[in-house]
Amino acid sequence: MEITAENILLIGSLLLILSILASKTAGRAGVPVLLLFLGIGMLAGTDGIGKIAFDDPGATQFLGIIALTYILFSGGLDTKWESIKPVLKPGLVLSTLGVLLTAVSVGLFASWVADLSWKEGLLLGAIVSSTDAAAVFSVLRSKSIGLKGNLRPLLEFESGSNDPMAFFLTIGMTSWLSIEGFSPVDLVPMFLKQMILGAGAGFLLGKAIVFLINRINLEYEGLYPVLMLGLVVAVYSLTDLIGGNGFLAVYLAAITMNQSRMLHHKSLIRFFDGIAWLMQIVMFLALGLLVFPSQVWPVVGTGFVIAMFLILVARPLGVWASLSFFKYKNREKLFVSWVGLRGAVPIVFATFPLIAGVEKSHMIFNIVFFIVIASVSLQATTLARFAKWLHLSVPEGLKRKSLLDLELSDDFKNALVEVTLPEDSLIDGKKILELNFPQTSLIVMINRKNKYITPNGATELKSGDKLMIMINSESEEFLVRSVLALQ
């Protein structure tokens, strides 16, 4: 089936609706939704039952860049500075040194086991060197995986900030292979320029957006999300125009906005959460359409070997080397290594050598695609089990079940958190006044066997109680959960 102006809306809407409806069933069956979206795209493609003829790497790359821009912005907008501040240094080392070590080790291994030169191998390594923000955000947040300590903000910050490094390495290796006279020495000033301008532009443009939103006073509230849609793309485009890294700028702009007082903050977070899901679906469907399964099959063996090396050797090497400068336990390093999810971003990056006409770029693209499938299939489905096995997961009853965002005013910082006491809780029978609760936290309601109790200091807590607790900050929430779990 040819994609035309007459049928593109019908085809697009049907694929979107089918993906969302199928995701519900897939979630219950334990199938990662990202893998499902890829699968639907492949089934609809030329080699699938849909027979939709789509072979345009340029259009796919364009869609991928737009989608990744909004996904990174959504992730940054929902990332609090207080949570990433303790993990800023290890996160940055993982995002740079960790990515570089992963790229080099995978590249050299790939040139050894596959029919690739060492330069082509390094290009492959660069493409798959970063964890995928869309995959990490999706798995950690949609499955509500509770992790002890600062592991979750570390993983989310790393996944949001390491794409610029992988993008730089991919562009650098593509240029080295396709541009005559290009020297690796040219990469050093390019890297410094991209990172410095990207970081500076992200911070300044983030502050400028906050200033604009707080003072523009639009007549219709529904126009604020529309305005923000344009501003996000403007941040990427302006940064790219001056030679900076647009992905880094978008992510840092969102974090800068999140730590500032901004009108309609919570409503914008909810809006962009939906946009991020839409972008993930569109990106994975487009990538699925672009792939020809018949061309992937011949490289399955090679792809599997490289994928296992990436998961079991290269990623742990990068993590252990990066986190050796910081006080992390071996089981924490092991878990961070396992959350090296590869998603749509490596496939998008693999379109750059395709468009540049790099020799064996089709082979590299197909290997990258298989690596992504292997990573999502193996790692995404076992994260919760792995965390529990390493004793890094929060007990089931102490996970955040719901967060009721109270948008009474834009200065209102409190939140209501629902916490369920586990069976045989250590605080069973204790009075609230006997707990070492933070003074600014308050248990406002108890749901005990579907009967609601308004508590006071003399109220005794029982195993299985669902507590509605008012907190002021994430650090306070962590303290509250520690009290309930350990006392």
Residue 2 lies in a domain: no
Pairwise CA distance, residues 448 & 463, whole Å: 9
* Residue type (1 letter), 153: P
The pTM score is 0.74
Strands 442-448 and 451-453: antiparallel
Residues 384 and 404 in one domain: no
Residues 190 and 207 in one domain: yes
Q: Which of 389, 421, 450 is the last residue of a domain?
A: 389
Q: What angle do CA 171, 175, 180 make, to 5 degrees?
A: 175
Residues 163 and 298 in one domain: yes
Q: What is the DSSP string of 423-473?
A: TT-TTTT-BGGGS---TT-EEEEEEETTEEE---TTPBP-TTPEEEEEESS
Q: Are 133 and 159 in contact (CB under 8 A)?
A: yes
Q: What is the CATH number of the domain that holds 291?
A: 1.20.1530.20
Number of domains observed in the structure of the chain: 2
- Determine the structural domain holding residue 170 and report its residue range: 8-389
Q: Which of 358, 389, 420 is the last residue of a domain?
A: 389
Residues 360 and 409 in one domain: no
Strands 403-404 and 415-420: antiparallel
Residue 1 lies in a domain: no
Instruction: Choose among 275, 289, 280: nearest CA to 351.
Output: 289
Phi, psi of 11 (to 5 degrees): -60, -45
- Tell me the two tokens of residue 440: 């600014």
Q: What is the pLDDT along the chain (487 residues), one digit of tens a residue?
A: 555 656 667 777 877 787 777 766 655 544 566 677 777 877 777 677 767 777 778 888 888 889 889 988 988 887 777 778 888 899 999 999 999 999 999 999 999 999 899 999 999 999 999 887 666 766 665 555 567 677 888 888 888 788 888 888 998 899 888 888 777 777 788 888 888 999 999 999 999 999 999 888 888 888 999 999 999 999 999 999 999 999 889 999 999 998 877 888 778 888 998 888 888 888 878 878 888 888 888 899 999 999 999 999 999 999 999 999 888 889 999 999 998 888 778 888 988 998 988 888 889 999 998 998 888 888 877 887 888 888 887 655 444 444 444 444 444 445 677 788 887 777 888 888 777 777 667 888 888 888 888 887 778 888 888 888 887 665 566 666 666 664 4
Residue 259 lies in a domain: yes
